[in-house]
């Protein structure tokens, strides 16, 4: 039987064959050469490999298949598989590695053994390789399949128009926008219309973004202060199964964490159609015994509307952090300010009459302005089997939002003849003078001016109850809201 003129690598493998098939191979192949794992060998044509474990080593058996195949086809017609199985078990016990030592070796087999002895003395040590994926595997860690952890490696390749779209890294999550760029996004998840965040808790470094009893909508979640390039991780939980996330998390929750130190400094300028531009400067450096993180951003966008959004946002972040032994702490300051005009809904009949275009605004004075300033401090202590954390924060936010949903339904020339005098005499197809909305119309203002302060303390133990992991968690949370409604 001729030799195959190529090399074959025998590697460690997991034995997934059945008990019958493994021992039957050994029974059929009366004589075989037993070799240690991970060697180069020469195989005879139509040869196969099987293995047997002895102690902590796995041995491989090289066998000839072709003549045995004919033998097997004859035998299987004479005896049942059960009888063959029993014969295989008893016969296989007589085949051991030591028997091969007393068997005269062919020249080819002697050459193979010489190769084994030579290669057995070689030892290769590889340097450590660190692999960072787009998201962490939480198998055996997460409480359910609805949890996840997304890193910057995935976020940086996502085309993001608005900061709130980073939440779309949560599977099934959609973030859209209406009534101007500066307004909080409208969110959807798992069939829920979350409005502006009513049923989805969003946190930045553990600080809740959702605002209670907001003038525009309960749970108002304005994420326009986020800078996507600074996000290190986004931890999400879908469903209402987590007691520590609170009332706003009936559909899910997300906690966004910033880097303490950026992988690289960033200077970036982006421009596009509709007068869009964005400039960003961000970096980090060692300061004293800690790390200083800084970032500044400016964004402008008009959008496709006849009356441009004229959206202008200024954004800044400053953080100082320090880690030593099993302690870590950081202090973070954030500030953002923006203003915009918005093109809201338009009457279909006016559009069909040709009085206004698809991208026109009936009331061009709609829009708003927004401010948000925050200061956060966090301290962590990690023990051998525990984690203790304390955090305190203060947030000041102010919003002025102007909307006109019904135009002249309530405030018109009948009830306000002086302010709405310009409406009289207008034909059906006539356009309304935008100046008229300064003294007439149903525009409403939705101001919200508030201070929010909070404190969180928690202690978690990591241990086992039998063979099951257990994490008793004690937490205390206090939130104070001082809201000024105009």
Distance, in Å, from the CA atom of 45 to the CA atom of 119, rounded to the nearest integer, reads 24
Q: Strand, coil or helix: what is 472?
A: coil
What's the pTM value of the predicted model, to 2 decimals?
0.69
Distance, in Å, from the CA atom of 319 to the CA atom of 258, rounded to the nearest integer, reads 9
Q: Give residue-wise pLDDT tens across range 174-197.
A: 999 888 888 999 999 988 899 998
Answer for the pair 378, 206: CB distance below 8 angstroms, yes or no.
yes
Answer for the pair 454, 479: CB distance below 8 angstroms, yes or no.
yes
List the one residue out of 343, 189, 339, 299 whose CA is nearest residue 253.
189
Bigger pLDDT: 129 or 66?
129
Distance, in Å, from the CA atom of 205 to the CA atom of 254, rounded to the nearest integer, reads 10
pLDDT above 90 covers a percentage of the chain that reads 40
Bigger pLDDT: 205 or 74?
205
CATH architecture of 147-404+443-484: Beta Barrel (2.40)
Answer for the pair 237, 146: CB distance below 8 angstroms, yes or no.
yes
Q: Strand, coil or helix: what is 373?
A: strand
List the one residue out of 313, 306, 40 whose CA is nearest residue 163.
313
The two beta strands, 173-176 and 186-189, are antiparallel
Q: Is 112 exposed, middle or buried (0-12, 13-18, 19+ CB in 10 A)?
A: buried
Answer for the pair 366, 404: CB distance below 8 angstroms, yes or no.
yes
Q: How far from chain centre, in Å, is Cα 393?
A: 25
Answer for the pair 311, 298: CB distance below 8 angstroms, yes or no.
no
Which range has the worst mean pLDDT, 6-20, 99-113, 204-218, 417-431? 6-20
- pLDDT over 50 (residue 399): yes
Instruction: List the beta bridge partners of residue 311.
Output: 301
Answer for the pair 315, 227: CB distance below 8 angstroms, yes or no.
yes
101 phi and psi, to 5 degrees?
-70, -30
Q: How confident is the model at residue 221 (pLDDT cuts 50, 70, 90)?
A: very high
Q: What pLDDT score was predicted for residue 104? A: 72
Q: What is the mean pLDDT of residues 110-115?
A: 72
Q: What pLDDT score was predicted for residue 254? A: 95
> Other C-beta atoms within 10 Å of 168: how many?
17
Secondary structure string (H, E, C) spanning 252-321: EEEEEEECCCCCCCEEEEEEECCCEEEEEEEEEEEECCEEEEEEEEEEEECCCCCCCCCEEEEEEEEEEE
Distance, in Å, from the CA atom of 56 to the CA atom of 58, rounded to the nearest integer, reads 7
Distance, in Å, from the CA atom of 354 to the CA atom of 445, rounded to the nearest integer, reads 29
Q: Give residue-wise pLDDT tens across range 268-287.
A: 999 999 999 999 999 999 99
How do the domains of the chain map onto residue ranges?
3-120, 147-404+443-484
Distance, in Å, from the CA atom of 421 to the CA atom of 440, rounded to the nearest integer, reads 9
Cα separations in angstroms, 43 against 67, 128, 319? 15, 34, 64
Q: What pLDDT score was predicted for residue 328? A: 94
First-to-last C-alpha distance (Å) of the chain: 97
Q: What pLDDT score was predicted for residue 356? A: 86
pLDDT above 70 covers a percentage of the chain that reads 71
Q: What pLDDT score was predicted for residue 226? A: 96
- pLDDT over 80 (residue 217): yes
């Amino acid at each position: 039987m001729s030799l195959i003129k190529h090399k074959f690598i025998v590697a460690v493998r997991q034995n997934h064959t059945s008990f019958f098939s493994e021992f039957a191979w050994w029974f059929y192949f009366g004589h075989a050469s037993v070799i240690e794992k991970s060697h180069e060998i020469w195989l005879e044509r139509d040869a196969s490999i099987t293995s047997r474990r002895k102690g902590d080593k796995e041995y491989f058996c090289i066998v000839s298949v072709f003549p045995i195949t004919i033998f097997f086809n004859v035998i299987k017609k004479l005896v049942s598989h059960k009888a063959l199985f029993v014969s295989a078990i008893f016969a296989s016990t007589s085949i051991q590695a030591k028997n091969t030592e007393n068997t005269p070796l062919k020249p080819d087999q002697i050459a193979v053994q010489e190769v084994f002895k030579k290669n057995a003395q070689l030892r290769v040590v590889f340097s450590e390789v660190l692999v960072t994926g787009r998201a962490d595997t939480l198998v055996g860690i997460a409480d359910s399949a609805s949890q996840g952890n997304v890193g910057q490696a995935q976020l940086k390749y996502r085309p993001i128009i608005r900061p709130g779209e980073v939440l779309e890294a949560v599977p099934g999550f959609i973030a859209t926008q209406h009534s101007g760029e500066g307004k909080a996004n409208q969110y959807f998840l798992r069939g829920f219309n979350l409005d502006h965040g009513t049923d989805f808790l969003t946190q930045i470094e553990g600080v809740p973004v959702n605002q209670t009893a907001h003038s525009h909508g309960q749970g108002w979640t304005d994420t326009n202060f986020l800078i996507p390039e600074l996000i290190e991780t986004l931890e999400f939980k879908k469903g209402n199964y987590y007691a520590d996330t609170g009332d706003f998390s009936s559909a899910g929750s997300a906690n966004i964490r910033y880097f303490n130190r950026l992988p690289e400094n960033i200077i970036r300028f982006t421009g596009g159609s509709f007068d869009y531009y964005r400039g960003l400067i961000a970096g980090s450096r060692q300061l004293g015994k800690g790390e200083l993180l800084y970032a500044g951003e400016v964004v402008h966008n008009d959008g496709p509307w006849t009356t441009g959004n004229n959206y202008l946002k200024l954004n800044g972040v400053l953080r100082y952090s320090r880690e030593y032994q099993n302690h870590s702490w950081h202090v973070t300051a954030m500030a953002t300010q923006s203003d915009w005009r918005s093109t809201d809904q338009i009457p279909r009949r006016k559009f069909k009459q040709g009085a206004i275009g698809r991208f026109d605004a009936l009331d061009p004075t709609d829009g708003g302005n927004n401010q948000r300033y925050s200061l956060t401090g966090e301290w962590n202590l990690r023990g051998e089997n525990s984690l203790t954390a304390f955090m305190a924060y203060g947030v000041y936010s102010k919003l002025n939002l102007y909307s006109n949903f019904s135009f002249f339904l309530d405030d018109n020339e009948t009830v306000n003849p002086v302010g709405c005098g310009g409406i009289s005499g207008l034909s059906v197809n006539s356009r309304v003078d935008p100046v008229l909305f300064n003294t007439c119309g149903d525009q409403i203002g939705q101001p919200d001016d508030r201070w929010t302060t909070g404190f969180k303390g928690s202690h978690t133990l990591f241990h086992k109850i039998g063979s099951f992991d257990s994490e008793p968690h004690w937490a205390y949370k206090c939130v104070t809201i001082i809201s000024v409604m105009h």
